[in-house]
Chains A and B, each alone.
Chain A
């Protein structure tokens, strides 16, 4: 092993056999490379007539952007096999940062392809990845690793194992469509949409395509096509209504009844939206005693409204 300066031209960057990290260099990193160049050596290994990058993808990419011609490299001996080289690449990065689930999936796949047995992968590698060391985890990771470009989305929005497992229950076509749909949404929105589509698909015993042809959902999906910013929120509330019809129905009735009361602006009437509690919470915002008196007076007047009774009836509703 020796450290030497290497030109980017000597590397075959098409050969990504050891690559499992998906982070790109951010602006801060690029600025630092522009200022001082690459200090920490990348790791390379000779294979046939060229050298393969083992570790340091972010540095190499930053070097390319900054047009750094030569960078320090630690060259491993050629006799080191791919599994050993990858193990090194894995543990070098392991000490530096947390991996996303997508990266964990790629790492598991590389170990698997380089010949590490399932028992070693489950017993030795999965605990390092902080995932349940079981066969099913390995199955999920290997399946996830084959998603190709979709992995980028899963990486960027930091999906967790449970979401991934539900996602993998969709067909290949559905997965592609779903990833394309949610790619611009937040982590929580993606998670909820995957969960709710998964529930609806099971409950209705229909494919995603059929579900999405339902008029309300279809019109919401049109908003996605038009790139409208409200599309995600609209789809979520529609799916919540579909997957939790009883609670959504009662919430809707509560909201309309509260609205019908036309309470003063500084009065807020709240309730537990899961309907586990049967009480109402009244929040008043006042800045003086006079204002409080006025508000209470106005509320007393409003108490004659029959809608109050209706609110408590809804909160104490019994039924299917």
Chain B
């Protein structure tokens, strides 16, 4: 169990006696809990650790959060996909070598927001403000949507909040297979269950504590059988010797077991990272070979594979997906107009400034 990793719980004083806090603490019996005024106390403590990022993933902080919904920031100069994010959890107990949260949330413990009433008010305001629009929204931006679900029970809670709101697609994105709670309720048609996928070799070497590929795919099959639509993210795609046959096998296995009609979207994005992540990742994952590749510093200051290589990778992916008629489900995550333009015909859709709307909306 992922939550077995948690070695200490901190509670923000404001919410320490709340019903939600008690419910979560009940599931963490035997783990030391301490009340603090704010997150600074924990961050201060983490500073003295040899690995603040790794340590932060083992500390749970139950707190009140000020706001929850925001547009996905994307990257300046990239084609945006019109995504919105809900941040109910911050940080992730899984430990992927390429994860930007290592830099973005450095010093932030695993944080669960307990003020659901405030969240619900904000969400309802969002629903009425965006009424009539068709939007994608997800909880997997600053956390894994399901990794802490056994504690938070957020998936079922969100499912009920989104039920009956067909124009708002809620994506729950994960690298786990922790679906039990959602499979126990009446499926919600506008909930999309999504998995990030990589070949077993990459999962093994770069995605610590995540579920193996076959478990993720088994979970996806179960989700479809229960009536959910699913999505898949090949992101980051890693270039390494043997990448073509490995990724092609993943696509074959996926599309032989999940019918393409049940797939809402597939995103593609090659490995990219901010230069500051490089220092942290090299320190935390000294044996990871993925950062030794040739990169260019692209228009947004991030390291990316050279464009000729990215084009080749995307072209191969689209060809492999086309064999299963799934190529028109594709969008590129954080890619330039140059890359989009190269594939507009092949993926039979797309705009130059936005990956949205998707074909089934138009």
Contact = CB atoms under 8 A, between A and B. Distances in A.
A199 B312 contact: no
Identify which of B48, B294, B306 gathers the most chain A CB atoms within 10 Å of its CB: B306
Contacts of A139: 50
A244 interface: yes
A45 to B, nearest CB: 32
Contact of A246 (B308, B311, B338): B308
B49 A276 contact: no
Contact of B294 (A122, A135, A245): A245
A74 to B, nearest CB: 35
A318 B311 CA distance: 6
Contacts of A122: 47-48
B341 to A, nearest CB: 9
16 contacts: A118-B48, A123-B47, A139-B50, A165-B279, A203-B292, A243-B294, A244-B294, A250-B308, A275-B296, A276-B299, A278-B338, A317-B311, A318-B308, A318-B311, A319-B308, A319-B311
Contacts of B299: 276
Interface residues of A, number: 29
B279 A162 contact: yes
Contacts of A304: none
Interface in A222-280: 243-247, 250, 274-278
Given A203-B292, A275-B308, A317-B311, 16 more contacts: A135-B50, A165-B283, A202-B289, A244-B294, A244-B306, A246-B306, A247-B294, A250-B306, A250-B308, A274-B306, A274-B307, A276-B296, A277-B338, A318-B311, A318-B312, A320-B239
Identify which of B283, B289, B294, B307 gathers the most chain A CB atoms within 10 Å of its CB: B307
A276 B336 contact: yes
Given A123-B47, A275-B307, A134 B297 contact: no
B315 interface: yes
Interface string A131-143: 0011110010000
B298 interface: yes
Contacts of B50: 135-136, 139
Nearest to B288: A202
Contacts of A119: 48
A320 B312 contact: yes
Contacts of B261: none
